Structure 1
Amino acid sequence: MRVLITGSQGYIGTVMTEVFAAAGHEVIGLDIGYFAECVMGPPPQDPPTIAIDLRDITVDDLAGFDAVVHLAALSNDPLGAVAPDITHDINHHASVALARAAKEAGVGRFLYASTCSVYGAAGDELVTESAPLRPLTPYAESKVRVEEDVAALADDSFVPVFLRNATAFGFSSRLRADIVLNNLVGYAVFTGQVKVLSDGTPWRPLVHIRDIADAFLACLDAPADVVSGTAYNVGSEANNVTVAQIAQSVVDEVPGVTLAITGETGSDPRSYQVDFGAIRRDLGFEARWQIADGAFELHRAYAASDFTEEQFFSRFTRLARLRDLQDTRVIDEAMRRYSALS
């Protein structure tokens, strides 16, 4: 298939393009490049890439593609809290416009990167895809709205699938340091301490980025009558863990570090455990990576780098990177490139 992957120069997109190309698909990327230089290790080999803001995509840009894998977004809760209107503009409105344009262009399959955080405060029971959606942040709210709006576009010729990914972890050459396991390993390596500001009790489901890529590949190849309009949780029940357990896995991996659970921010209301049975039953998909595997992988990568603590967290934290791009007048307050302004 000829596949367009939005957000191709991001944390997950850099791995997704590699996995899809290795599976024999013709991959084209689409990315405005805000995080293209946020690289650890050798530079990745990007596919041919369309440099365009997600908000400016037209039907003509999507002509000739068999499928769109839509990853591009303003992608974390702190950023959503700082810029909720822009988060909805990009994550919700531009995503729905992309889906409509894809349908008009004759694209047959639309794979959307949603999130398990749509379940919000779900308590201690495992939640399935039919559970009530209780998004607690602008980021999660935007994902719910896209699922609702794009599901309405489904028909015999347009097959949308919604992949509700657990919290990602693992090494990508375009790293993110602002997601929980990646972050805690970073603090362990660069400061010698694993510090948890909450009380450590909230539950989080985690999934490795390569498992995410494999799940998208499975949905690309699945029969349309099985997956059309369907939401799938992506992850593994074995990786439903508390924040304190994630922190302990880092302590177990990185020698000599100390663990401090301060509780100074109290208990995070975002707490949920997730059932991943549907994607196993429908598609035979099984997540392979465990949290300990990811801690090992990240520890080795960070330890081999020559970054300082300040360089590591400023380069690989999304909010810090975007603020730097604004301070240096690469992008404006609406997160558009100045060079693109009329």
Structure 2
Amino acid sequence: MKVLVTGHKGFIGTVMVPMLLEEGFDVTGIDTDLYRYCTYGDEPLEVPSINKDVRDVEKEDLQGFDAIVHLAALSNDPLGNINPDLTYDINYHASVRLAEMARDVGVKRFLFASSCSMYGKAGEDVLDETADFNPVTPYAKSKVLVERDVSAMATDGFSPVFLRNATAYGVSPRIRFDLVINNLVAWAHTTGKILMKSDGTPWRPLVHIEDITQAVVCALKAEQSVIHNLAVNVGSNEENYQMRDLARFVKETVPGCEIEYAEDAGPDLRSYRVSFDKIHRVFPDFSTRWTARQGVEQCYQSYLRFGLGRDDYEGIKYKRIAHIMNLIEDGKLNTDLRWQI
């Protein structure tokens, strides 16, 4: 099966591509490589690729593929808050346009990296795929809009699949330190403090990026009838945690660290628990291989291995907003986040 992965040089993509190759898929990538100067550890695996912004993809780029895995997005909520229109332009309008072109050229499967963050502010309820959406960020709102518009495109020959990923974590060549597990461990390792920005009570479902890839593999291998216009939460029922649980895992893993609450710490509006029963019904072979506690250990061992310091992950190389703003100031990117060099 010929598979096109958008955003293949990003946080998830650089882990997903090697795993897809191991499963025997013929993989090509599309990526503008926005974080080309941000490699952490080993360089990403090179595969045949098209160097394009997802907004600039044309039909001829999509010819001959059996499936598209669409990861490319502005996936940082604070970045989206700086310019919400840009988030909608890239995450929403470009995604819908990509799906339309894919359908027109005969791509059979369109796997969209959606998000459980669409459920947003949900309190104590445990939400399945039928729950109402209550997104609280431009990123989450864009996911709702894409699902709405692309699901309406489904035909006998075009099957959208909406993989609503839980909050991701894990080590990657294009690591993100703004994600909760990655962030808490980095703070603990470099400062001795586990910095809690909420009061510790909000709920959040967690999933490792390798387990996200396992769901993609299942969706690519399943019969067309199984995945046609499917929306499914990606994660595990056992991996719904309160933030204070994650802080405890970090404290038990990183020697000598202590939990510290930010001065303005309070309840986070983004509090939700999610049911993952459906994915196990739809994909009997799917199972998560990682737990949050194991993810904490993976991050800690990686930070030790590469000698991560606070100046590293707080500096412009890995702090994505600062990195993007620096590229704009240097004239390498314009304000639409297109390369000028």
Output the TM-score relative to the length of structure 1.
0.97
Equivalents in 1 of 2:252, 2:174: separation in Å? 25
| 1:12 equivalenced with 2:9 (yes/no) | no
Q: Which residue of 2 aligns with 1:268?
A: 268
Q: Which residue of 2 aligns with 1:333?
A: 335
Q: Which residue of 2 aligns with 1:164?
A: 164
Equivalents in 1 of 2:306, 2:101: separation in Å? 42
CA contact 1:9–1:46 (8 Å) conserved in 2: no
| 1:290 equivalenced with 2:312 (yes/no) | no
CA contact 1:14–1:46 (8 Å) conserved in 2: no
Residue identity opposite 2:255 in structure 1:
P
Matches within 5 A, 1:104-183: 104-183=104-183
Q: Which residue of 1 aligns with 2:26?
A: 26
Q: Which residue of 2 aligns with 1:97?
A: 97
Aligned-residue Cα RMSD (Å) equals 1.1
| 1:39 equivalenced with 2:39 (yes/no) | yes
Aligned-pair CA distance for 1:172: 0.9
Aligned-pair CA distance for 1:298: 0.5
Residue by residue, what CA displacement relative to the aligned partner does 1:1-45 show, whole Å, maximum 9, x if unpaired?
Answer: 111100000000001111111100110011101113322222122
The alignment-based identity, stated in percent, is 45
Aligned-pair CA distance for 1:48: 1.4
68-77 vs 279-288, greater mean Cα deviation = 279-288
Equivalents in 2 of 1:76, 1:44: separation in Å? 21
Aligned-pair CA distance for 1:235: 0.6
**Structure 2: gaps spanning 5 or more residues:** none
Equivalents in 1 of 2:82, 2:248: separation in Å? 30
Equivalents in 2 of 1:44, 1:108: separation in Å? 28
CA contact 2:9–2:44 (8 Å) conserved in 1: no
Residue identity opposite 1:8 in structure 2:
H
Equivalents in 2 of 1:264, 1:229: separation in Å? 42
Matches within 5 A, 1:48-127: 48-127=48-127
Residue by residue, what CA displacement relative to the aligned partner does 1:47-70 show, whole Å, maximum 9, x if unpaired?
Answer: 111100111111111001111000
Equivalents in 2 of 1:338, 1:38: separation in Å? 18
Residue identity opposite 1:298 in structure 2:
C
Residue identity opposite 2:327 in structure 1:
L
Partner SS state of residue 117, structure 1: helix
Residue identity opposite 1:73 in structure 2:
A
Structure 1 runs of 4+ with >4 Å offset: none
Q: Which residue of 2 aligns with 1:301?
A: 302
Aligned-pair CA distance for 1:263: 5.7
Equivalents in 2 of 1:128, 1:20: separation in Å? 28
Q: How many residue pairs are counted as aligned between the two chains?
A: 339
| 1:235 equivalenced with 2:235 (yes/no) | yes
CA contact 2:196–2:265 (8 Å) conserved in 1: no
**Structure 1: gaps spanning 5 or more residues:** none
Output the TM-score relative to the length of structure 2.
0.97
Partner SS state of residue 111, structure 1: strand
Partner SS state of residue 266, structure 2: coil
Equivalents in 2 of 1:208, 1:308: separation in Å? 23
Aligned-pair CA distance for 1:126: 1.0
Residue identity opposite 1:6 in structure 2:
T
Aligned-pair CA distance for 1:100: 0.6
Partner SS state of residue 204, structure 1: strand
Aligned-pair CA distance for 1:117: 0.4
| 1:200 equivalenced with 2:200 (yes/no) | yes
CA contact 1:196–1:263 (8 Å) conserved in 2: no
Equivalents in 1 of 2:307, 2:81: separation in Å? 32
Residue identity opposite 1:253 in structure 2:
T
Q: Which residue of 1 aligns with 2:211?
A: 211
Residue identity opposite 2:146 in structure 1:
V
Q: Which residue of 1 aligns with 2:319?
A: 317
Residue by residue, what CA displacement relative to the aligned partner does 1:129-168 show, whole Å, maximum 9, x if unpaired?
Answer: 0000111111100000000110011111101100000000
